[in-house]
Chains A and B, each alone.
Chain A
Amino acid sequence: MNRTSLGGKLLRGVLWVAFGLFFLFPLYAMADFSTRNLLKGGRTLQAWKNLVQDDALYQAIVISLLLAVFTVVLMLVILVPTMIWVRLRAPWAKGVIEFLCLLPLTIPALVIVVGLRNVYLWVAYFLGESALTLTFVYVVLVLPFAYRALDGALSAIDLKTLSEAARSLGAGWFATIARVVVPNIWSGILSAAFISIAVVLGEYTIASLSGFQTLQVQIVLIGKADGPTSVAASLAVLVFGFVLLLVLALLTRGRRRTGAIDAAVPAPTTATQSGVPT
């Protein structure tokens, strides 16, 4: 890419602007719409204040944030040890685990919620009717993204050697995972966590059709009567997600993709040593 012609640069500039407008304008429109005073003209922050003032909405925000946290925790607690175990002790299970983790990509959430009724009857019986019971389903929903993030991070380290070294020095499994493995796959964990949060905060299908009052459900409910507030809430979630992912990108900056595309590193040659030490 050494010589970009003026025409080429112009075309690229135009394309960037076109895409920028298409994607960023609705976001600007959301900011504008949510601060507009429909009755008297001019600006108002009422819609945004409603995020805290409107009781139902505020409750929904809290529930959704809690759900996000619970989902991330449960996902990490279940997935990280499982993936480590598969790599170290049960490599024959890798195919199965990978298939199951990627399966939620093929089974639409809509299908899951249709078949979920009976299951959640049992769940409600044992654990109550709180929206937080959605955690279990949400962990399943985020599996594909979390698996990919963690798998990438685990592939980048020599798990076998690290864990053998730790155990030979006397560490039990818990200590090995917590003190040796986890610190080394931190970028994968963060990535999995952030994407999971984004998915949970944006999830609507299962929550609404199961009758739970999460943030997105509340947004749609309010939207019929109070457009600006719904728009404000939606924008808040979008911005939050974007900031999360930007933070993640910054935190994991400088890490190259594994399986890099560059040509092989030249192998050391035989007679290039230049001296016998004096």
Chain B
Amino acid sequence: MTNGVSVELTDLTRVYGPVKALDGLTLHIEPGELVALLGPSGCGKTTALRILAGLDEATSGSVSVGGQDLTKVPANKRDMGMVFQAYSLFPHLTVVDNVAFGLKMRGKDKGDRLSRADEMLELVGLTAHRNKYASELSGGQQQRVALARALAIQPRVLLLDEPLSALDAKVRVQLRDEIRRVQLEVGTTTLFVTHDQEEALAVADRVGVMSQGKLEQLAAPAELYANPATPFVAEFVGLNNKVPAEVSGGQAKLLGSSVPALPGSISSGAGLAMVRPESVTVTADPSGTASVTSVAFLGPISRVFCTLADGTVVGAQMASSAARVFSPGDPVTVGVEPTGVLVVEAGG
């Protein structure tokens, strides 16, 4: 069920003196969609979010929600819910008063406010903590309260500014699934900013990878992973091996096979192919030119690192049961699955 509205960021630019935090960002979010903006610090993702929220002003460009131009509308009139990275709960209010705050600002009377707040608390599973203060809650619980508070006002857009970055790893995973569950249930259009690519791929309908104020690629997680459009995206998302390859006629020759070269690769000549570990095949072969260097056991999967004849080290990912047969020093043949690879300039 979607009851969200569409969001349109058009050609947003934000300049601070000599620094260009945002450089012509254009983004369209469908009603009810969760788009994640992913990138390293300084890439402009948080700036974009804050401009959408109205907490920052774009140097040029426009923001519109549900067809309505919000560029000049002050932040407190934009009807958006925002979850900050940390420390945003009001310390002098109880959990339920925190959640009801937005409704108080809208002039709802006490009974309505509290019943809606309790409804939200039930949605995030914190009804038992209703009368506690922020300092009495764990980081994960605080963020769930923050989420309830943002949703209580039935915002047209939900904004999440690295909501999980300040939390422990295990809590992070639990909470991100919960955020996604809640978002799907309520159906609000959502913009989720993070620097953790695993997080972005796990929760989003589409992921926008950003670098230096520009959007490098906007695609569904699987598409982004399998077909990175630029070297930056290929580097930033997932793990990569860099294997020498030769490109000609749209095909890349490497590791004894010929596979499609993705658009965005160099057009011809020698380069480095970015190969996912799970696309690398390792076969025991007494006459193989490569040899196993080490095996890393990671639970359900293992990574087998091999050194090729030319000295390149390649990591292959496979089920641990399959990896068991390999030991350091074994001669092997290393190959590659017939999926597309992005080939970049050597030395890059």
Residue A277 CB within 8 A of the other chain: yes
Given that A2-B57, A267-B169, A270-B198 are known contacts, is A275 also in contact with B242, CB under 8 Å in the complex?
yes
Residue A169 CB within 8 A of the other chain: no
- Nearest B residue (CB) for A263: B86
Given that A274-B239, A275-B241 are known contacts, is A267 also in contact with B312, CB under 8 Å in the complex?
no
Q: List 16 A-B contacts (CB under 8 A).
A: A3-B57, A263-B85, A264-B165, A266-B85, A266-B162, A266-B165, A266-B195, A269-B196, A269-B197, A269-B199, A270-B169, A270-B198, A271-B238, A272-B236, A275-B242, A276-B239
Residues of A within 8 A of B235 (CB): 274-275
1/0 contact trace for A246-278 toward B, CB 8 Å?
A: 000000000000000001101101111111111
Given that A2-B56, A263-B85, A266-B162 are known contacts, is A272 also in contact with B196, CB under 8 Å in the complex?
yes
Residues of B within 8 A of A276 (CB): 239-242, 277, 305, 313-315
Q: How far does the Cβ of B242 sit from chain A's closest Cβ, in whole Å?
A: 6
CA distance A274 to B275 in the complex (A): 11
Residues of B within 8 A of A2 (CB): 56-57
CA distance A2 to B55 in the complex (A): 8
Residue pair B87, A263 in contact (C-beta under 8 Å): yes
- Nearest A residue (CB) for B238: A271
Residue B73 CB within 8 A of the other chain: no
Q: A269-B199, A272-B236, A276-B241 are in contact. List 6 more A-B contacts (CB 8 A).
A: A266-B165, A274-B239, A274-B240, A276-B239, A276-B313, A278-B242
- Nearest A residue (CB) for B241: A276
Residue B319 CB within 8 A of the other chain: no
Segment 153-173 of B: residues with Cβ below 8 Å from A:
162, 165-169
Residues of A within 8 A of B239 (CB): 271, 273-276
CA distance A68 to B57 in the complex (A): 53
CA distance A278 to B273 in the complex (A): 12
- Nearest B residue (CB) for A272: B197
Residues of B within 8 A of A270 (CB): 169, 196, 198
- Nearest B residue (CB) for A261: B87
Q: How far does the Cβ of A55 sit from chain B's closest Cβ, in whole Å?
A: 59
Given that A272-B196, A275-B235 are known contacts, is A267 also in contact with B240, CB under 8 Å in the complex?
no
User: What total count of A-B pairs have CB within 8 Å?
Assistant: 62
Given that A2-B56, A278-B242 are known contacts, is A271 also in contact with B197, CB under 8 Å in the complex?
yes
Residues of A within 8 A of B165 (CB): 264, 266-267
CA distance A60 to B196 in the complex (A): 67
Residues of B within 8 A of A277 (CB): 313
Residue pair B312, A278 in contact (C-beta under 8 Å): yes
Residues of A within 8 A of B162 (CB): 266
Q: How far does the Cβ of B288 sit from chain A's closest Cβ, in whole Å?
A: 19
Residue pair B166, A264 in contact (C-beta under 8 Å): yes
Q: How far does the Cβ of A170 sit from chain B's closest Cβ, in whole Å?
A: 41
Residues of B within 8 A of A263 (CB): 84-87, 166
Residues of A within 8 A of B236 (CB): 272, 274
CA distance A244 to B242 in the complex (A): 60
- Nearest A residue (CB) for B195: A266
One of A264, A266, A278 near B313 (C-beta < 8 A): A278
Segment 168-201 of B: residues with Cβ below 8 Å from A:
168-169, 195-199
Residues of A within 8 A of B167 (CB): 267
Residue pair B195, A264 in contact (C-beta under 8 Å): no
1/0 contact trace for A196-209 toward B, CB 8 Å?
A: 00000000000000
Q: How far does the Cβ of B279 sit from chain A's closest Cβ, in whole Å?
A: 13
Residue pair A271, B242 in contact (C-beta under 8 Å): no
Residue pair B198, A269 in contact (C-beta under 8 Å): yes
CA distance A272 to B235 in the complex (A): 9
CA distance A271 to B315 in the complex (A): 14
Residue pair B198, A271 in contact (C-beta under 8 Å): yes
- Nearest A residue (CB) for B234: A274
Q: How far does the Cβ of A274 sit from chain B's closest Cβ, in whole Å?
A: 4
- Nearest B residue (CB) for A264: B166
1/0 contact trace for A117-152 toward B, CB 8 Å?
A: 000000000000000000000000000000000000
Residues of A within 8 A of B199 (CB): 269
Q: How far does the Cβ of A269 sit from chain B's closest Cβ, in whole Å?
A: 4
Q: How far does the Cβ of B113 sit from chain A's closest Cβ, in whole Å?
A: 28
CA distance A38 to B50 in the complex (A): 64
- Nearest B residue (CB) for A271: B198
Q: How far does the Cβ of A2 sit from chain B's closest Cβ, in whole Å?
A: 6
Segment 144-162 of A: residues with Cβ below 8 Å from B:
none
Q: How far does the Cβ of A268 sit from chain B's closest Cβ, in whole Å?
A: 9
Residue pair B198, A266 in contact (C-beta under 8 Å): no
Given that A274-B236, A275-B235 are known contacts, is A269 also in contact with B195, CB under 8 Å in the complex?
yes
Q: How far does the Cβ of A103 sit from chain B's closest Cβ, in whole Å?
A: 30
Closest 5 CB pairs of A and B: A266-B165, A269-B196, A264-B166, A274-B235, A263-B86
Residues of A within 8 A of B305 (CB): 276
Residues of A within 8 A of B87 (CB): 263
CA distance A272 to B38 in the complex (A): 11
- Nearest A residue (CB) for B310: A278
Residues of A within 8 A of B57 (CB): 2-3
- Nearest A residue (CB) for B167: A267
Residues of A within 8 A of B277 (CB): 276
Residues of B within 8 A of A3 (CB): 57
Residues of A within 8 A of B242 (CB): 275-276, 278
